[in-house]
Amino acid sequence: MAELRLMKGNEAIAEAAIRAGADGYFGYPITPQSEVLEYFMAENATERTGMVVLQAESEVASIYMVYGAASTGKKIMTSSSSPGISLMQEGLSYLAGAELPCLVLNVVRGGPGLGDIQPSQGDYFQSVKGGGHGDYKLIVLAPSSVQEMSDFVPLAFDLAFKYRNPALILADGAIGQMMEKVDLFEPIPRKTEITEPWAVKGKQPGEPKRTITSLDLDPYGMEKHNEHLQAKYRAMEENDVRYEAIQCDDAEYIFVAYGVSARICQKAVQLAREKGIKAGLLRPITLFPFPKKQLAELADRVKGFLAVELSAGQMVEDVRLAVNGKVKVEHFGRMGGIVHSPFEVVAALESKIINV
Amino acid sequence: MTEEIIIAGFGGQGVLSMGKILAYSGIMQDMEVCWMPSYGPEMRGGTANVTVILSDERISSPILNEFDTAIILNQQSLDKFEHSVKPGGLLLFDNNGITRMPQRNDIQIYCVEAAAEASQLSMEKAFNMIVLGAYLKLKPIVELDNVIKGLEKSLPERHHHTIGTNRDAIVRGMEIVQQYQF
């Protein structure tokens, strides 16, 4: 039986991790996502499923605990907010290089630096362009409701294991802190047997040696490894783009927004249509892979796009690449933890796209 | 039907928990609900507010700049949110500590002397339930039975013995709310 509960986004994601059969969580508290660790402790996650829940001494320690535990083929997770995720970037590059699946949650707050603790989407570049060194990508999912904070946990684990790649759930302070009705999925039992042919779990006699590393001092070998990684990223772009199109069928103007901005834009679509403006919303659910093809198709039949993000304009660059000059693409967004209102968004559509 | 509400007052007045109980009541009635708090330093002693949305449809923005109803429990919140009520909307306030009264004449304004009543009945902790009762009298969007079920869901079990008191407080709020006379 499914179970309906009123939960914060941060609580829903922790409950979903327990239900998804996560084997380990390593994290360090930071607002606005401290409820994740608190929920694991309050819910006695270890007693419920046997999973390991540990408060590490820092974010750097958390991500390397994830690296070690993920090497054994288990379902491992960490979470933090912007400054803490910045500290994890080296580890994420190593995880991507060593091809280790794991789940990372970033509940984004205002930046740069220590910034503030209000909602922001200023970490888009870091998330989708590779915040650490080297040519790598994360699978990036952007929930825009508490329900999706729950639903995306098993999805992220599935994608991470499918591609042997870290998956990032990119939320924001609003999605983490707000409460909504959640339909919780049936618990999936933890895997007792590790079948991944790459996992290091103690070599048995007669078994070949397995090594988890991101190091290869032979540049020809390293180039080959990079080509293999790039082929994986192309496969993700081919097979795992997710998005939601809201009232796009007859739309003349399209908002492009994810996370809490997508929710605000849903209201903006409604307000714009009350004024006689045919607006629609294209909501990328995967930020990498990005719904380029869908945007390019829309560009053939609409008059303009407005990318709405809580940043100075980051995703708008990917929208422009996809639209490729066919029609006008502009950006609107507030920064530093201020959240745009639906009215402001409609006004921006009028001033930046329609009445130009 | 969609009802967009802002509840605002001091931290410690039960603003967030009142919103949570209202949201849970909505779930008990098969509605879509959203509860968006102010979080951070303002919660620790300053003003606290929460947006609650109840709807028969999928809820869009959790961040709003105008509301069908504002439930106001201190002067700062009245100053901040009186102008955010939609024309024809509802402003419900407790006049305890209010020195500058509401001014608008294009909205419905009601007053509930909840702080005074809670103190008189020695049920200070149920103050927010008196306010909730007043609201439900004016906008009966959720049934009392579902509010009680919502209370059962949102209160930890060790506080379930207070549900009777909370119910009495809600009913009292329904009795004492009155239209504000300029």
User: pLDDT tens digit string along A13-53?
Assistant: 999 999 999 999 999 999 999 999 999 999 999 999 999 99
Global ipTM: 0.91
Strand order in A102-108's β-sheet?
A52-55, A24-27, A76-80, A102-108, A166-172, A139-141, A286-288
Q: Which part of chain A is CATH 3.40.50.970?
A: 3-184
pLDDT at B97: 92
Average pLDDT, chain B: 93
* Residue B113 DSSP code: -
Contact status of A282 with chain B (Cβ, < 8 Å): no
Residue type, B58: R
Q: What is the pLDDT of residues A184-237, one digit of tens each?
A: 999 999 998 888 999 998 888 998 999 999 999 999 999 999 999 999 999 999
**Which range is least confidently modeled, A97-111, A153-167, B46-60?**
B46-60
Q: How far is A263 from chain B (nearest CA, A)?
A: 5
* Residue A247 DSSP code: S
**Which range is least confidently modeled, A207-211, B68-72, B134-138?**
A207-211
pLDDT at A172: 97
The CATH code of domain A3-184 reads 3.40.50.970
Q: Which of B20, B23, B39 sits opposite A32 (nearest CB)?
A: B39
- In CATH terms, is domain A243-354 a member of 3.40.50.920? yes
Q: How far is A18 from chain B (nearest CA, A)?
A: 21
**Would you state the structure tokens that stand for residue A188, as one six-digit string?**
């999936």
* Residue A191 DSSP code: P
pLDDT at A1: 44
The interface residues of chain B toward chain A in range 139-158, judged by CB-CB distance below 8 A, are: 153-154
Spell out the domain ranges in chain B: 2-179
% of chain B surpassing 70 pLDDT:
97
Going by pLDDT thresholds of 50, 70 and 90, the confidence category of residue B154 is: confident
Phi, psi of B52 (to 5 degrees): -120, 130
Q: How far is B179 from chain A (nearest CA, A)?
A: 31
**Would you state the structure tokens that stand for residue B166, as one six-digit string?**
């909370």
pLDDT exceeds 50 at position A107: yes
pLDDT at A40: 98
CATH class held by domain B2-179:
alpha beta
Give the pLDDT mean for B150-163: 92
Strand order in A279-284's β-sheet?
A243-246, A279-284, A253-256, A304-308, A328-332
Q: What is the pLDDT of residues B26-50, one digit of tens each?
A: 999 999 999 999 876 555 567 899 9
Nearest alpha carbon to residue A23 among A149, A138, A157: A157
Give the pLDDT mean for A86-113: 98
Question: In the structure, how many helices (H) and strands (E) does chain A have?
Answer: 14, 14
H helices of chain A, in order, are: 9-19, 35-42, 45-49, 59-70, 82-87, 89-97, 124-128, 146-163, 173-177, 219-239, 259-274, 292-299, 315-323, 342-349
pLDDT exceeds 70 at position A322: yes
Three-state SS for A329?
strand
pLDDT exceeds 80 at position A304: yes
Average pLDDT, chain A: 97
Contact status of B43 with chain A (Cβ, < 8 Å): no
- As a whole number of angstroms, the distance between CA A272 and CA A308 comes to 15
